[in-house]
Amino acid sequence: MATDRISPTAHYTSYVWVRAGLSPPELGTPRGRRYHAALAPFDALFGPRVGAGLEQQLLLRHRAIDAEVERAIAGGARQVLEVAAGLSGRAIRLGERHPEVRFVEADLPDMAAQKRRLLASLPGRRVPDVVDVDALATDGPLSLSAVAAAQFDTGAPIVVITEGLLSYLPWPAVQSIWRRVASLPFPVVDYLSDVHLGDEVGQFAAVRAFISGLSLFARGQVYLHHANLAEAVEMARGCGFASADAPDARLLVGEPTRGGARVRVLRCKTTATRD
């Protein structure tokens, strides 16, 4: 399955991170600016109807995943692999804050090459290594297991992130990624991702309309894989994780929760307890 059709979405999210001061301006591309200008009117239209616009939700998801990476680092994690990292600035931001941690970003070869070029325009910054991966490859040098084993110490725990990838893939592809992440040969694998639930997101006509628009933008279907929270947790455990939960992102960043969650962070671990 070729999934490079998804790559343009990375320009949009990157522009959102830059606008919010979460990424260096050099990671904002002209393409990202154009996509942002094109989507902004729809976001302004649909956002107020569901309580928070796409941009706001993306920022919440990004900050909540940051908070969980910080938590893992505070708990001793020293290796972080961000799969489908796109043009995100997380590994620069957190890597500069935690020089003791090895951050590696991975993406499809074209996107990874583009990221390496952009990072080369940031002299003096501590930037992550960026490597080629195909999260859907079951074996070979681009597979998750080959990349993880080549880049990290397999004797120590690892944190693996996929942000903004899974909604663009059909369930069998997501399931195969989760299985491969859960079986990576590390003593502990801590896995973080955004996750979207049918009973929280799919109920809004405005959100369904927005998802249809996003499908056009991503040139392929956008999926809601889980009917509800219990199902998402059960599906993650069924893929080999010993523990899984998916808290409301607002809780993870210390914001008050009012109304149903729209953004959740899936937190899975290959050991039975999270801490």
Applying CB under 6 A, which residues contact ligand SAM? 3, 6-7, 9-10, 13-14, 83-86, 88, 107-108, 111, 133-136, 163-165
Contact 82, 159 (CB under 8 A): no
Identify the sign of the CA torsion 67, 210, 82, 139: positive
* Minimal CB distance residue for ligand SAM: 86
CB of 162 to ligand SAM, least distance (A): 7
Nearer to ligand SAM, 136 or 244 (CB): 136
CB of 14 to ligand SAM, least distance (A): 6
Sequence-distant (≥ 6) Cβ neighbours of residue 258 within 8 angstroms: none
Nearer to ligand SAM, 18 or 235 (CB): 18
- Strands of 47-181, DSSP E: 79-83, 102-107, 129-132, 158-162
CB of 269 to ligand SAM, least distance (A): 21
Q: What count of residues does the chain have?
A: 275
Nearer to ligand SAM, 14 or 79 (CB): 14
CB of 114 to ligand SAM, least distance (A): 9
SS3 letters across 7-20 = CHHHHHHHHHHHHC
3-state class of 71 per DSSP? helix
Written as six digits, the tokens of 220 are 């392929």
Which neighbouring-strand residues pair with 37? Answer: none
CB of 166 to ligand SAM, least distance (A): 9
How many angstroms separate the CA atoms of 79 and 73, rounded?
9
